[in-house]
Structure 1
């Protein structure tokens, strides 16, 4: 039976606690800036609660919103490793889910790594369900060969740079957005702002990203982004128009082949990827690229709707 340390106090975040929170997050996720960055704590959150044992911060929990995905309320709880058997997570969770004015009846969403077994056990005990797995990694572009399948009809392929030089961006943005929405049906994105619509083209590598089209219709696209790492590209959203789903495998291979050719001709050596298990187009990459699927990043949801 878990024993809660005494005395224990749970206090609302204030700025003076930020250094202690930063230290706690480093203890929970050592040298993992990307994971720490996912969780919004302190001024980035709607509410952050801190669990203190005497003058030591031993746990932190927060609720936050995502303006691009407003239908869910996000939650994160982190407990100092030495206190993970002390039910601190349960105490923080109970106070967070009582914040009905913030949650407003929305589905709760969180994420963690597949190897964070204690965290997963806690979330499953509260009723959270795994919605998707996200595979993150990097592989060498050297000597990669993509087995090609020929599309059933002649299609034109062009880089985003070339395509957008003579075409308006709206049709391409519409196709990209529709594919993105299809992969996020569990938590749809807002479409009310031009910012949300054009976010897909922010920081995109327009010369490494390609689009396939006929004389009167866009067929498929592959978004590739600049990376902070040298000689590296980052795989973004890839998608195929509804009317071409039968040719999906061939279209995706053609798009990737063009990106590989661009990379090899321009000195790029690696491709970073982030592939969701529920994404029908990105999942096609698993069939012909050296994608590592474990460990993976897990997205979990808890719905107030019994049909969820």
Structure 2
């Protein structure tokens, strides 16, 4: 179900077809004409953002899909699964392109670099793997975390990788060498999500302790602490302009924050269950948040569009 904050009762589309929880979503930014959804039903679906039509259903994983991403060219979708593998899928044909094997536990997070020639995956085996997309070869294994990896991401110029872990820390790595450059500690519970802003100036972390932190990517010093959620924060991201942060929580709300001051600008309500996924569109004026919606048919992808032009 897709609705707008200006007309919250207006249903535009129902993306129906998954048979279990929809756990991961993504726009194919910068194009914005497609949405990918990954589900506990072991499939990934590709949808038309304008009409809600399902283009493809990607089948091949043998366990739940928990993370996914488009490459920058919008020609590939990568999916990560509890079956310990990541898969690459052709957006146009719907065919499987490659299976990336090597992790010994669930892959919980993945991210393409901005060129699209490398993919990074984070696993419950406490390690992060860097892959060459064209060959499917593993380039580096990043070792150092003492707990399961929760989140991984490249910075804008592809020089750095950031990782979050259940060991309550965030680490910054050099992509070329695989060397750990810094460890950001401060959260009192598991770090569940991490991200760079689009220019690579800031780092944001979200935790099970209900707080989020903003750091300088140059000095690794903290800039702001984001407090207000009443439960763990599962997702965090910057808007394309780098001026706002979006957090999604098990408290059934998403919040919009000012990066520099850490002030909460808006509480986004509408979900009746914990929010699994959230993201900005390419322009940064629309937010999509998603969860499973148990009061309707199992597997329906329930999401809310929020218009934030005035913020």
Same fold (TM over 0.5): no
Bigger share in strand: 2
Look at both structures and tell me which one has the larger radius of gyration over its CA atoms.
1
Bigger share in helix: 1
